Amino acid sequence: MLGLMLILVYGTCLLVIPAVLGLLVWRWAIKHEKRRAWRWGVAATLAIPILTFWDYYPTKWTHEYYCKKEAGFWVYKTLDQWKSENPGVLETFMPQRVWPPKNTFTGDRDNYISTTFMNQRFDSVGRGNKLFFLSIRRHEQEIVDSKTKEVLARSVDFSTGDQTGGNISPKFWLRRDECTEGKNNGIKLGQFITQFTETNK
């Protein structure tokens, strides 16, 4: 229902209002004997759509740039490597038995640090920050050995738009939840986490 209302509102703003405005400006230009009055009308008609969608391509191109340059999933130390350095330790860990998992969160949705305590030795640390004045956000998640502070794996992704949860942003066309490989990288990260949390196996 809300989506339909937005379509009606934007349809009115981007079709009816610009057309009426263009007509009024065109008539004003004729009345005041402006040269090439039709250009005045066209400029007025295009003004509202341009002001509304000006950030679409800058956001799209910047998102694609950062996805290509920085996004991905990296493993710095595998389970077998960690176990060889810490023999018999993993089997003694107990995963959290509460839901949702114990965690800490500081900041807001644009700039935050979130830590989830997976067990006695491993934490999942998430960081997010908004880039520039565009609605582009960088999301980083690391699996950290809480004793040595060593990063075992890291995932970086980027999203765009102001839509979060069930809320619909006025500029819904800017929304991109992740990079092209974001979903696959998320699956890889989840599989990596499972190795370190399924103990006594």
Looking at the structure, tell me whether residues 13 and 100 fall in a common domain: no
Looking at the structure, tell me whether residues 72 and 104 fall in a common domain: yes
Looking at the structure, tell me whether residues 74 and 160 fall in a common domain: yes
Per DSSP, what are the bridge partners of residue 115? Answer: 104, 125
Give the chain's domain count: 2
Looking at the structure, tell me whether residues 168 and 114 fall in a common domain: yes
pLDDT confidence bin for 41, thresholds 50/70/90:
low
Looking at the structure, tell me whether residues 97 and 25 fall in a common domain: no
Q: What is the pLDDT of residues 60-113, one digit of tens each?
A: 999 999 999 999 999 999 999 999 998 988 878 766 555 456 778 888 878 899
Domain of residue 115, residue span: 56-197
Looking at the structure, tell me whether residues 42 and 131 fall in a common domain: no
φ/ψ of 176, rounded to 5, equals -140, 120
* Side-chain half-sphere CA neighbours of 138 within 13 A: 16
pLDDT confidence bin for 4, thresholds 50/70/90:
low
pTM value? Answer: 0.74
Amino acid 53: pLDDT:
81
Amino acid 17: pLDDT:
64
Which of these, 169, 145, 151, lies nearest to 159 by C-alpha position?
169
